[in-house]
Amino acid sequence: MRTRVGIIGAGPAGLLLSHLLHLAGIESVVLETRDRAYVEARQRAGVVEHGVARLLRHSGLGERMDREGITHDGIELRFDGRSHRVDFSDLCGRSVEIWAQTEIVKDLTARRLADGGQVLFGARATAIEGIETDSPRVRHTLEGREEVLECDYVAACDGFHGIGRRSLPEGVVRTFERLYPFSWLGVLADVPPSCEELVYARHERGFALHSMRSEEVSRLYLQVPNGTDPDDWPEERVWEELAERMAVPGWELRRGPLTSKGLTPMRSLVTEPMSHGRLYLAGDAAHIVPPTGAKGLNLALHDVALLAEGLRARYTHGGTGALENYSAAALRRVWRAEHFSYWMTTLLHTSGDAFDHRLQLSHLEYLASSRAASTQLAENYTGLPHP
């Protein structure tokens, strides 16, 4: 099998890249190790930055998001039993869309298949070869057979556990990493949200987040120690803890049946460079952020917009400048998002250290009283224009 761009992974990054290349008239093949039902049901992110929402609309993928998603003009911070709203529209003139990653993936998959795109589910990439030549290859298994996909370029959009990052030669690649001593216990509940916008709560017992997937479904998170067993958190305990950590006078948490429960470890990681020879990394394959800043999905989609533009230039007029600049350009946005995600995480999660506790409260009070401080949060959360 031969194609122009071989894409590993049918997550949001791989699927959007394949779609953008199709719009530019460039053929690609997507290899995805899981089946379609699994990929479409995987619960993950839900906040779409202003610029990413525009990208989805411009590429013909905004119709359902605009009809069924929810526009949010701000978030609420809660600490010390009180609440402060960060008004995005007022502070920076932007907003975000609440639109689940599962829905983005469903729309992208349906669109690629309707356009005759090749998305091969059950195809597990096992090796990337020849990246320093003009014809790299992706070895993969499909229906028990060993296959080879030959291409001009390989885009590894295969997430944190994929083979893309490990295929960059040692000596070329450098990894920067920070681990955190806590995780998120995330639950999905069949109950209308108890708030109109996302609530980020800092409490002595730990961080809590109230988010939503729709007018009927709430998504909630609790800071828990690493290694926590979700089975130790029956429904009753989850609701009690959420109510306590998010309490402010006059507010009540609506409760309903939990439909899923899972643990998300927190990690910051950046791989540099994000390309070598004919291999390009995009999304979680290249970088991970703790989810506090809602950046993982957004970074993945920004990466592939840049990569698609580089490939379009290469195939339309032979210019390779944008492709050569891909890693440097993507990394500028990545490091900004890494810093913001780290900052939100350390501001809101408890470490048990009394000095940290005082610093957090001081900074939260500063945010609540300073327009300049709140503007920085609003700008970064809604997504900065491309540097």
Ligand X SMILES: Cc1cc2nc3c(=O)[nH]c(=O)nc-3n(C[C@H](O)[C@H](O)[C@H](O)COP(=O)(O)OP(=O)(O)OC[C@H]3O[C@@H](n4cnc5c(N)ncnc54)[C@H](O)[C@@H]3O)c2cc1C
Q: Which is nearer to ligand X, 1 or 368 (CB)?
A: 1
User: Any catalytic annotation for residue 295?
Assistant: yes
Q: CA–CA separation, 235 vs 230, rounded Å?
A: 10
Q: Which of 3, 5, 6, 12 binds ligand X (CB under 6 A)?
A: 12
Q: Which is nearer to ligand X, 80 or 122 (CB)?
A: 122
Order of strands, sheet of 275-276, starting from the edge strand that comes earlier in the sequence: 118-121, 28-32, 5-8, 153-156, 279-281, 275-276
Strand partners, 74: 87
Order of strands, sheet of 47-48, starting from the edge strand that comes earlier in the sequence: 47-48, 96-98, 70-72
Q: Which is nearer to ligand X, 129 or 356 (CB)?
A: 129
SS3 of residue 196 by DSSP: coil
8 binds ligand X (CB under 6 A): yes
User: Any catalytic annotation for residue 200?
Assistant: yes
Closest separation in Å from C-beta 175 to ligand X = 16
Q: Which of 158, 197, 241, 338 binds ligand X (CB under 6 A)?
A: 158
Q: Which of 281, 284, 334, 367 binds ligand X (CB under 6 A)?
A: 284
User: Any catalytic annotation for residue 280?
Assistant: no
Q: Taking the CB of residue 235, how many other CB atoms lie within 10 A of it? A: 14
Strand partners, 189: 218, 258
Q: CA–CA separation, 340 vs 89, rounded Å?
A: 19
124 binds ligand X (CB under 6 A): yes
Active-site residue identified among 12, 19, 136, 200: 200
Q: CA–CA separation, 27 vs 83, rounded Å?
A: 51
String marking each residue 239-278 x if it binds ligand X according to CB under 6 A: -------------------------x--------------
Q: Which of residues 207-236 bind ligand X (CB under 6 A)?
A: none
Q: Which is nearer to ligand X, 121 or 251 (CB)?
A: 121
Query: Which residue stretch of 19-27, 108-116, 159-167, 171-179 sits at the interface with ligand X (rule: CB under 6 A)?
Result: 159-167
Cis bond before residue 385 (omega within 30° of 0): no
Q: How far is CA 362 from CA 140, 260, 347, 356, 357, in A?
A: 53, 36, 10, 10, 9
Amino acid 151 reads C
Q: Which is nearer to ligand X, 145 or 317 (CB)?
A: 145
69 binds ligand X (CB under 6 A): no
Q: CA–CA separation, 300 vs 284, rounded Å?
A: 7
User: Any catalytic annotation for residue 38?
Assistant: no
34 binds ligand X (CB under 6 A): yes
Provide the binding-site residues for ligand X, judged by CB under 6 A. 8-14, 31-34, 39, 44-46, 101, 124-125, 157-159, 162-163, 264, 283-285, 291, 294-297, 300
| Residues that are catalytic | 72, 200, 291, 295, 381
